[in-house]
């Protein structure tokens, strides 16, 4: 029986990918190479330092660790400038109704995100109070597709993985959820999230009960 839901943040609750893109692109501009939105797709769900490695690979650049740390810090400052201007209007369609539906059914709610900025984003969106548990990039040592972030989420909710549904928009996140023994709903397209138990575009017009039905049939 499902007793808890664990949500990824970027791409599931809010579209921060566009702000990550702008901040990474500004860094690429400074370093003198082009970084496209298509390139940015490769960074979804990936940790900050791994994202930087991919960006530098795109630009065919190599730097020592100290410079890389400076670049990552610099990118994060730019990213923070964007996210500190976010408002609750940016919560993706249907998410609030779905969270309210979970609350009314006493389903536990956790966040399982790779982002170290997750608390700032939840604050900006005024969503903090919905979450019983927040596991973010400051609390995990292994990146998705390792299931650590979701396993820690389930443990903090005092639930077993099989009692939880994970909502994920990234392929690595779906892989992490399945590896961890969770049911997984992919948010996006079945093309790259085909391993999920069910894939949907977003949370509009779907209730928790309907979702359980879709997973079980």
Task: Give me the active site residues, please.
Answer: 8, 10
Residue 2: name its binding partner from Mg ion, ligand B16, none (Cβ under 5 to 8 Å by kind): none
Contact with Mg ion (CB under 5 A) among 170, 177, 178, 184? 170
Residue of the chain from 8, 39, 171, 175 that contacts Mg ion (CB under 5 A): 8
Choosing from 2, 4, 7, 11, the residue that interacts with Mg ion (CB under 5 A) is: 11
- Smallest distance from Mg ion to CB 114, Å: 7
Closer to ligand B16 by CB, 50 or 212: give it: 50
Q: Is residue 136 near Mg ion by the rule CB under 5 A?
A: no
By CB under 6 A, residue 147 contacts ligand B16: no
Judged by CB under 6 A, which of 4, 11, 161, 186 binds ligand B16? Answer: 11
- 100 CB contacts (<8 Å, ≥6 apart)? none
Instruction: Reduce the secondary structure of the chain to three states and give it as a string.
Output: CCCEEEECCECCCECCHHHHHHHHHHHHHHHCCCCCHHHHHCCCCCCHHHHHHHHHHHCCCCCCHHHHHHHHHHHHHHHHHHHCCCCHHHECCCHHHHHHHHHHCCCEEEEECCCCCHHHHHHHCCCHHHCCEEECCCCCCCCCCCCHHHHHHHHHCCCCHHHEEEEECCHHHHHHHHHCCCEEEEECCHHHHCCCCEEECCCCCCCHHHHHHHHHC
* Site for ligand B16 contains 48 (CB under 6 A): yes
Nearest approach in angstroms of CB 149 to ligand B16 is: 8
Half-sphere exposure of 93 (CA within 13 A, CB side): 6
Rank residues 53 and 210 by Cβ distance to ligand B16 and give the closer one. 53
Among 59, 94, 137, 181, binds ligand B16 (CB under 6 A): 137
Read off the tokens for 86: 């976010």
One symbol per residue from 170 to 189: x for binding ligand B16 (CB under 6 A), - otherwise; what is it? Answer: x-------------------
Two structure tokens written together for 130: 């919905």
Residues that bind ligand B16 (CB under 6 A): 8-11, 20, 43-48, 51, 76, 113-117, 137, 170
Residues that bind Mg ion (CB under 5 A): 8, 10-11, 45, 169-170
């Amino acid at each position: 029986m499902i007793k808890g839901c664990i949500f990824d943040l970027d791409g599931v609750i809010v579209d921060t990918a566009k702000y990550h893109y702008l901040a990474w692109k500004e860094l690429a501009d400074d370093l003198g190479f082009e970084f496209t939105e298509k390139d940015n797709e490769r960074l979804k769900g990936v940790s900050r330092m791994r994202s930087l490695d991919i960006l530098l690979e795109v630009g065919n650049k190599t730097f020592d660790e100290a410079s890389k740390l400076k670049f990552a810090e610099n990118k994060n400052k730019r990213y923070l400038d964007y996210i500190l201007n976010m408002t609750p209007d940016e919560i993706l369609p249907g998410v609030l109704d779905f969270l309210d539906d979970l609350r009314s059914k006493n389903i536990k709610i956790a966040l399982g995100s790779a982002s170290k900025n997750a608390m700032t984003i939840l604050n900006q969106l005024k969503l903090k109070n919905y979450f019983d548990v927040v596991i973010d990039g400051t609390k995990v040592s292994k990146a998705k597709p390792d299931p650590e972030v979701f396993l820690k989420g389930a443990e903090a909710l005092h639930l077993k993985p099989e009692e939880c549904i994970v909502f994920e928009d990234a392929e690595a996140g779906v892989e992490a959820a399945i590896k961890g023994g969770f049911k997984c709903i992919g948010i996006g397209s079945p093309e790259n999230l085909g391993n999920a138990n069910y894939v949907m575009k977003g949370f509009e017009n779907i209730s928790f009960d309907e979702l359980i039905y879709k997973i079980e049939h």
